[in-house]
């Protein structure tokens, strides 16, 4: 990989901006000052420093975040801050997998691996997603039976869900699609309303209970 491309990817600016950093002699590779932006380097093997700060880079990243309420799953800042602001590093190629609403908390995955993202969110693969759902009203057996039988929303039929009752106003709901506001619309269809929503898992990947709201960690190899 070219040195200027690497520095741009990890957040040091545009190609023009990183070229200035390199030509000013602020970058070392294996203890040697490098002033040619087009220099080819191996980011996983070479020791690269910018003004004494080491650059860590791997081709693909896999991140689990415990998303807090009040953050948007977007790469640009709009009305709310982006979840990317919770990271203490920058990569311009990060993909947000299975986005959550601003007021929804819990498991959020981020990656630079397009195949990994596609395999988790492609509708035809029917990847289960489990949510902790707190409701405005108590519910009865028919409420659960309706969800488990499969309902039809305004954009078409929904796969039968799996429901585990926690108490008279709380369930764990497993669904197999990822439609816009799906859980909230399902509850509204069943004449109830969501007061709190948190994603617990996507497929085999479970939210790490040790992660506080707003914290993240890299996925372990067995989780990928």
Phi and psi torsions of 186, nearest 5°? -65, -40
Neighbouring C-alpha atoms within 13 Å toward the C-beta of 119 = 9
Partners of 199 in beta bridges: 106, 131
Q: Can you give the residue ranges of every domain in the chain?
A: 3-54, 62-122+205-223, 128-202
Q: What is the pLDDT of residue 135?
A: 98
Q: In what order do the strands lie in the sheet with 27-29?
A: 32-33, 27-29, 48-50, 53-54
The residue written with tokens 């491309």 in the block is 5
Burial of 45 (0-12, 13-18, 19+ CB in 10 A): exposed
Q: What is the pLDDT of residue 88?
A: 82
User: Would the pLDDT of 117 be above 80?
Assistant: yes
Q: What is the pLDDT of residue 35?
A: 96
The answer to whether the CB of 169 falls within 8 A of the CB of 135 is yes
Q: What is the pLDDT of residue 131?
A: 98
pTM of the model: 0.82
Task: Find the mean pLDDT for residues 63-87.
Answer: 93
Is 88 a catalytic site residue?
no
Q: Which CATH class is domain 128-202?
A: alpha beta
Q: What is the pLDDT of residue 59?
A: 77
Q: What is the pLDDT of residue 89?
A: 78
- Is there a shared CATH topology between the 62-122+205-223 domain and the 128-202 domain? yes
What CATH number does the domain located at 62-122+205-223 have?
A: 3.30.70.580
CATH superfamily assigned to domain 3-54: RNA-binding S4 domain (3.10.290.10)
Number of residues in the chain: 224
Residues 24-47: tens digit of each pLDDT: 999 999 999 999 999 999 988 899
Task: Find the mean pLDDT for residues 3-16.
Answer: 85
Q: What is the pLDDT of residue 125?
A: 74
Task: Find the mean pLDDT for residues 58-63.
Answer: 86
Cα 140 from Cα 212, distance rounded (Å): 33
| Buried b / exposed e along 12-24 (16+ C-beta atoms within 10 A) | beeeeebbebbee
Q: Judging by DSSP bridges, how do beta strands 194-202 and 105-111 pair with one another? A: parallel
**DSSP state, 123?**
G
Q: What is the pLDDT of residue 123?
A: 57
Q: What is the mean pLDDT of the chain?
A: 93
- From the candidates 46, 78, 92, 101, give the one annotated as an active-site residue: 101
Cα 179 from Cα 158, distance rounded (Å): 9
Residues 120-138: tens digit of each pLDDT: 887 567 899 999 999 999 9
Task: Find the mean pLDDT for residues 132-152.
Answer: 97
């Amino acid at each position: 990989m070219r040195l200027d491309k690497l520095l741009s990817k990890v957040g040091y600016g545009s190609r023009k901006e990183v070229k200035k950093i390199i030509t000013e002699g602020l970058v070392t590779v294996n203890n040697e000052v490098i002033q040619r932006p087009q220099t080819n380097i191996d980011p996983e093997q070479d020791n690269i420093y910018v003004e004494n700060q080491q650059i860590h880079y791997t081709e693909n990243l896999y991140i689990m975040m415990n998303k807090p309420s009040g953050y948007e799953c977007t790469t640009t800042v709009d009305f709310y801050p982006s979840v990317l602001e919770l990271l203490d590093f920058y990569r311009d190629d990060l993909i947000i997998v299975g986005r959550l609403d601003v007021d929804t908390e819990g498991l959020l995955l981020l990656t630079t691996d397009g195949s990994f993202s596609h395999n988790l969110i492609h509708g035809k693969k029917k990847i289960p997603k489990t949510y902790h759902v707190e409701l405005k009203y108590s519910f009865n057996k028919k409420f659960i039976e309706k969800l488990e039988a499969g309902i039809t929303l305004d954009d078409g039929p929904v796969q039968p869900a799996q429901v585990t009752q926690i108490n008279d106003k709380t369930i764990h709901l497993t669904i197999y699609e990822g439609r816009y506001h799906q859980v909230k619309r399902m509850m509204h269809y069943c004449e109830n309303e969501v007061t709190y929503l948190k994603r617990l898992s996507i497929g085999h990947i479970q939210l790490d209970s040790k992660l506080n709201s707003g914290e993240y960690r890299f996925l372990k190899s067995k989780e990928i």
